[in-house]
């Protein structure tokens, strides 16, 4: 953090401490709600959800080559392969709407087809593996699955439409080749698959929540989730000792810690802000009256979904902060359709993001891209809201 940024941070904290009227009953209640919400997050989501997710993200960053992903965006690659890789690249690269911009600029200006490049631009932040996990854990598996499936479909459809509209115009730029197909691998594909699958299963079983009903399949799994987790940890220990070098393990830990340093302060700050503004789910202790939120994005009308899509498109969400903010909005009456609409438009777009994209692709293509995201998010939210 630069010195002027530190100064602004200190100044903001000072002004908040100096000016906020904590003696006011509504402010005092909202402040208490913020810390109660933070307490719930720390107890329910950090140790057994976020920590394993950080290690998964760190492993992806270290052991999955970005070049191996980006090399498929050139004109020499088959179209089905380009769009397939582009549409799931977010799970590999784990970037936000601003971090993806340098990567997008690099592949686009060097000649990548506009279709795969735009698919990559959308999917990069939209399919962030940490965000999908946290969405399913906190907002419900339906929204987690809908967000993941919707983001993949969005990336492909938006990329294909952009290629249909502007492909001929951009044809002279294509010819990109990135990466080396001969990158050396210390492990076989099966070993890497087993390693990543083991990490994912550790996350699933460690974070397995107690079902409301003390019977049935899900409760049976809950009763054995800790023994299964310990077995998986033992398997992981064997894998790390026999398949990895010490230098690789240090890089993995450093990468995971880097994710934690960048994300945890923003996430916990977002939790506090969401608790203060909207209170915990099911309460009305936030500073913003729940009826205001219900009036704008309650229910599942096209208007509510459009408002959620547009607001999400122009707001900037730091990585993962959209989840606690939306949790607070849901507790204040936001419908599930508008929630999905915001989840599909918000992480992939922001006003700073749009300004940079305009400088790379031009105004016409940028406006088309933004309109496609907003329209598709609105329709998807509306359909999802009617389904659930």
Within-domain flag for 15: no
What pLDDT is stored for residue 367 in this prediction? 93
Among 86-90, 97-101, 171-175, 186-190, the range with the most confident prediction by mean pLDDT is 186-190
What pLDDT is stored for residue 80 in this prediction? 81
What pLDDT is stored for residue 117 in this prediction? 83
Within-domain flag for 4: no
User: pLDDT band for position 65 (50/70/90)?
Assistant: low
Burial class (CB in 10 A: 0-12, 13-18, 19+), 127: buried
CA-to-CA distance for 384 and 388, rounded, in angstroms?
A: 6
String of DSSP letters for 206-255? HTPPPPSSSSSHHHHHHHHHHHHHHHHHHHHHHHHHHH--HHHHHHHHHH
What pLDDT is stored for residue 182 in this prediction? 45
Q: Which long-range contacts (CB under 8 A, 24 or more apart) does 188-192 make?
A: 191/239, 191/243, 192/63
Place of tokens 């200190």: 10
Within-domain flag for 1: no
Give the structural domain span for 53.
Answer: 24-186+245-387
Looking at the structure, do residues 122 and 200 belong to the same domain, yes or no?
A: no
Report how many domains make up the chain. 2
Tell which of 175, 209, 244 closes a domain: 244
Looking at the structure, do residues 166 and 201 belong to the same domain, yes or no?
A: no
Q: Which of 117-121, 221-225, 352-356 is the least confident region?
A: 352-356
Q: Which two tokens stand for residue 333?
A: 């009456």
Q: How large is the average pLDDT for residues 201-211? A: 81
Q: How large is the average pLDDT for residues 118-140? A: 80
More confident residue, 35 or 113: 35
Q: How large is the average pLDDT for residues 215-221? A: 83
Within-domain flag for 13: no
Contacts of 179 (CB under 8 A, 6+ apart): 65, 67, 68, 69, 70, 71
> Residue 300 in contact with residue 337, Cβ under 8 Å?
yes
What pLDDT is stored for residue 235 in this prediction? 96
Looking at the structure, do residues 73 and 109 belong to the same domain, yes or no?
A: yes
CA-to-CA distance for 327 and 64, rounded, in angstroms?
A: 32
Looking at the structure, do residues 60 and 77 belong to the same domain, yes or no?
A: yes
Looking at the structure, do residues 136 and 217 belong to the same domain, yes or no?
A: no
Within-domain flag for 11: no
Q: Which of 154-158, 183-187, 188-192 is the least confident region?
A: 183-187
Looking at the structure, do residues 220 and 121 belong to the same domain, yes or no?
A: no
Within-domain flag for 227: yes
> What is the 8-class DSSP label of residue 177?
-
CA-to-CA distance for 12 and 165, rounded, in angstroms?
A: 46
Average pLDDT, the chain: 80
Looking at the structure, do residues 165 and 299 belong to the same domain, yes or no?
A: yes
Q: Which long-range contacts (CB under 8 A, 24 or more apart) does 77-82 make?
A: 77/116, 79/115, 82/113, 82/115, 82/116, 82/119
Within-domain flag for 12: no
> What is the 8-class DSSP label of residue 48?
I
Looking at the structure, do residues 221 and 367 belong to the same domain, yes or no?
A: no
User: pLDDT band for position 372 (50/70/90)?
Assistant: very high
Tell which of 229, 244, 259 closes a domain: 244
Within-domain flag for 5: no
Q: Quick check: pTM over 0.75? A: no
Tell which of 203, 218, 244 closes a domain: 244
Looking at the structure, do residues 137 and 217 belong to the same domain, yes or no?
A: no
Q: Which two tokens stand for residue 48?
A: 């057994």
CA-to-CA distance for 211 and 388, rounded, in angstroms?
A: 20
Looking at the structure, do residues 72 and 199 belong to the same domain, yes or no?
A: no
Altogether, the residues listed in the chain come to a count of: 388
Helix (H, G, I), strand (E, B) or coil at 319: coil
Looking at the structure, do residues 110 and 193 belong to the same domain, yes or no?
A: no
Looking at the structure, do residues 182 and 62 belong to the same domain, yes or no?
A: yes
Q: Which two tokens stand for residue 165?
A: 């509209």
């Amino acid at each position: 953090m630069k010195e002027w940024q530190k100064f602004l941070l200190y100044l903001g904290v000072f002004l908040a401490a100096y000016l906020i009227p904590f003696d006011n009953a509504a402010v005092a209640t909202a402040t208490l709600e913020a810390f109660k919400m933070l307490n719930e997050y720390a107890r329910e989501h950090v140790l057994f959800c976020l920590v394993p997710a950080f290690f998964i993200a760190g492993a992806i960053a270290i052991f999955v080559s970005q070049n191996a992903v980006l090399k498929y965006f050139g004109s020499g690659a088959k179209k089905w392969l380009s769009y397939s890789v582009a549409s799931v690249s977010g799970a590999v690269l784990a970037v936000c709407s601003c971090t993806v911009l340098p990567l997008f600029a690099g592949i686009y200006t060097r000649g990548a087809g506009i279709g795969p490049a735009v698919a990559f631009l959308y999917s990069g932040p939209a399919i962030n593996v940490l965000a999908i996990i946290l969405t399913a854990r906190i907002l419900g598996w339906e929204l987690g699955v809908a967000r993941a499936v919707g983001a993949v479909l969005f990336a492909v459809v938006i990329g294909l439409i952009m290629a249909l509209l502007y492909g001929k115009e951009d044809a002279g730029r294509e010819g990109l080749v990135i990466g080396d197909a001969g990158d050396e691998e210390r492990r076989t594909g099966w070993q890497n698959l087993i390693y990543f699958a083991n990490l994912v299963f550790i996350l699933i079983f460690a974070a397995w929540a107690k079902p409301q009903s003390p019977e049935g399949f899900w409760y049976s799994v809950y009763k054995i989730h800790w023994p299964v987790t310990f077995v998986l940890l033992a398997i992981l220990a064997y894998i790390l000792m026999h398949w990895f070098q010490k230098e690789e393990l240090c890089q993995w830990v450093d990468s995971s810690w880097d994710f934690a340093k960048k994300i945890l302060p923003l996430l916990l700050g977002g939790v506090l802000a969401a608790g203060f503004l909207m209170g915990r789910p099911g309460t009305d202790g936030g500073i913003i009256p729940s009826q205001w939120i219900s009036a704008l994005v309650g229910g599942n009308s096209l208007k509510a979904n459009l408002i959620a899509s547009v607001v999400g498109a122009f707001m900037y969400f730091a990585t993962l902060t959209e989840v606690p903010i939306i949790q607070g909005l849901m507790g204040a009456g936001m419908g599930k359709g508008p929630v999905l609409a915001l989840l599909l438009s918000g992480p992939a777009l922001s006003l700073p993001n749009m300004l940079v994209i305009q400088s790379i692709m031009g105004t016409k293509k940028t406006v088309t891209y933004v309109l496609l995201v907003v329209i598709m998010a609105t329709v998807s939210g509306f359909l999802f809201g009617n389904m659930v």
